[in-house]
Structure 1
Amino acid sequence: MIKRYLNADGSSNLKSLADLRQWQKERRSKKKDLSFLVPRVEPDVVLLSGNREKPTVTFIGHSTFLVQLGGLNIVTDPVWAARMGFARRLTSPGVPIKALPPIDVVVLSHAHYDHLHLGSLRRLPGDFVSLVPEGLAGWFRRRGFRRVEELSWWSEKRIGGVTFGFVPAKHWTRRTPWDTNTSHWGGWVMRHGMDCLYFAGDSGYDGVFREIGEKYGEIRVALIPIGAYEPEWFMRDSHMSPEEAVQTFVDVGGSIFVPMHYDAFRLADDSPKEALDRLLAEWERRGFPLERLWTMELGQTRLWSADETYGQKVFGKSDQIHG
């Protein structure tokens, strides 16, 4: 019997055909300005290729980041695809895949196409280990990836000096009409000493984020999705609004908020600018320090460390990592 996975509250997040038709009817009546493009900078590939000491995070696009931690080069949800279905990507990746340093670890949040792209996986440099949700290892092995580890919620895997914890999210997954929820979904907590980064994956808002904060504590950088939330009556079980993303940041006890999942693909009716504007408005409404909100440019690399107040240094072509 095929195992089907659920959320912590027992939900599967599946929508009815009537709900889908209602959303599509609403969508046809909306006119959105998609002219805004997320700013980008030239990536410092020399710096990235030579760094094995300092913790950094580089925004590549959507939910794809290069994280350097504990001497490892880690990629989250690798997607360099130029299209998602029939729709072209809104912004090109911030770092070309051929410019990446050798990758040691890939972490996957779930199997949706905008998070798991086979072509990107096959082009990644390095003999990497793939850390994937329960139920997904077979998909990898059937496609020739032998170094794959499958984790269930709250389980951990240590690679080198970095501990990877797979934590819950509220979502669902499907790649074909026949494999709905046959693998799980979640986020990842990566810790090396006092340096800790949380990658939320893709999720609706849920009380489980408080549990993540209670278990791990001292999360330095939190990568949290803010897009694909409109219409909220349809999307809220699977995608959080920008306001809910700020609450998620509070729940997990993060120090630095990095928004994601808003810039590359039009998965719902909101636009990148709307998501960013709502995020900033909520941040200011709560009176949080602006230096703790990193709305990163595509290709930008930032240093973060538990030894610094907020990890403010921005790496560019003129910066030296050991300076």
Structure 2
Amino acid sequence: MKRYVNLNNVTNNKSFNDMRKWQKERRSKVKDLSVNIEQFPAKKIKEINANRSHTSYTWIGHSTFLIQLNGINILTDPVWAKRMGFQKRLTAPGLSFSELPEIDIVVISHGHYDHLDFPTLKKLKGSPHYYVPAGLKPLFNRKGYQKVTEMNWWESSAHDGLTIHFVPAQHWTRRSLMDMNTSHWGGWIFQTEQDTFYFVGDTGYFDGFKQIADRFAIDTVFMPIGAYEPEWFMADSHISPEDSVKAFVELKAKTFVPMHYGAYRLADDTGPEALERLLKEWKKQQLPEEQLKVLLIGETVMY
């Protein structure tokens, strides 16, 4: 059975003692979980559903975005789950299933449950085409999904005037005891004549950002900033807010949209903490304020 690996063979092998050390640290920390990322008060539900000509993106929460490009409705890592393991979802999704338009494309960054949730996929409107990392297609087929394209790093696929590229990330995956890293992980780039959007997926900081910058001129990057604490445990797989800014600079992208924070408590940091560290680092690096687009949940950018 094939097992996938990271660039430079970086691994995320943590021992039982590492897990015990982390859990002991967690018990010693006091976190305020009462303050969460807010919902956008004036959601553009009608505009989104009528839109087949404008470019837009809407943050549903966590790593889920509705992206509208070339009249195509795309969902990234759709997860509406109310729980993740033993933890309740901290913030409601920015749009309900009934408020979504019909979906044309779904991309999956990897197989972890907070990025691939089959109960969510069953409830989506339309008959989407699924783009998934190498190794995941058999699982989708077993679940009854036949419109599935499986891709390896640096491969591309054309879809109704849109070019979709699968690019590296530094992570790992597992859905059961026996299937660790039997499917790949990565990010997705959506390219039209006017726009290039990069959905990073789930990643630690790695050299791949420089390689991606060499191949693509990125307009907007959807970049994870949360689930990084404790960093001695998480850094291989989850990028910190400070390193996410470093990656953005290396990508030479025009707009930074933060994600992967505030919906589920996957690590010790909170959503507001991740955002505060991001804003502090942005100011420290003296980057233009207009290049950082922090969204509230359910907020839409349309142009």
TM-score category, normalised to shorter length: over 0.9
Aligned: 1:179 with 2:179:
yes
Letter in 1 for 2:202: D
Aligned: 1:34 with 2:33:
yes
- Number of the residue aligned with 2:75: 75
Letter in 1 for 2:240: S
Aligned: 1:163 with 2:163:
yes
- Number of the residue aligned with 1:49: 49
Q: Distance in 1 between matches of 2:286 and 2:35?
A: 26
Matches within 5 A, 1:224-303: 224-303=223-302
Corresponding residue SS for 1:150: strand
Q: Distance in 1 between matches of 2:247 and 2:81?
A: 28
Q: Distance in 1 between matches of 2:90 and 2:102?
A: 27
Corresponding residue SS for 1:284: helix
Q: Distance in 1 between matches of 2:223 and 2:57?
A: 13
Corresponding residue SS for 1:9: helix
- Number of the residue aligned with 1:194: 194
Q: Distance in 2 between matches of 1:79 and 1:57?
A: 16
State how many pairs are aligned: 302
TM-score (norm 2): 0.98
> Are the counterparts in 2 of residues 209 and 252 from structure 1 also a CA contact under 8 Å?
yes
TM-superposed CA distance for 1:13, in Å, is 1.4
TM-superposed CA distance for 1:45, in Å, is 1.4
Letter in 2 for 1:163: T
Deviations along 1:63-102, one digit per CA (max 9) or x if unpaired, are 0000000110000000000100121000000011121000
- Number of the residue aligned with 2:4: 5
Q: Distance in 1 between matches of 2:43 and 2:132?
A: 28
Q: Distance in 2 between matches of 1:50 and 1:108?
A: 25
> Are the counterparts in 1 of residues 137 and 148 from structure 2 also a CA contact under 8 Å?
yes
TM-superposed CA distance for 1:14, in Å, is 2.2
> Are the counterparts in 2 of residues 5 and 12 from structure 1 also a CA contact under 8 Å?
no
- Number of the residue aligned with 1:98: 98
Aligned: 1:210 with 2:210:
yes
- Number of the residue aligned with 1:223: 222
Corresponding residue SS for 2:7: coil
Q: Distance in 1 between matches of 2:207 and 2:262?
A: 26
Q: Distance in 2 between matches of 1:249 and 1:303?
A: 22
Identity within the alignment, %: 51
Structure 1 gap segments, 5+ residues each: 305-323
TM-superposed CA distance for 1:248, in Å, is 1.1
What CA RMSD, in Å, does the superposition of the two structures yield over aligned residues? 0.8
Deviations along 1:183-227, one digit per CA (max 9) or x if unpaired, are 00000110110301000000000011011011012x111000000
Q: Distance in 1 between matches of 2:302 and 2:205?
A: 28
Q: Distance in 2 between matches of 1:262 and 1:74?
A: 20
Deviations along 1:232-275, one digit per CA (max 9) or x if unpaired, are 00000000100000111111111010000011000000011110
Q: Which runs of 4+ in 1 moved over 4 A?
A: none
Q: Distance in 1 between matches of 2:184 and 2:270?
A: 28
TM-superposed CA distance for 1:289, in Å, is 1.3
TM-score (norm 1): 0.92
> Are the counterparts in 2 of residues 225 and 245 from structure 1 also a CA contact under 8 Å?
yes
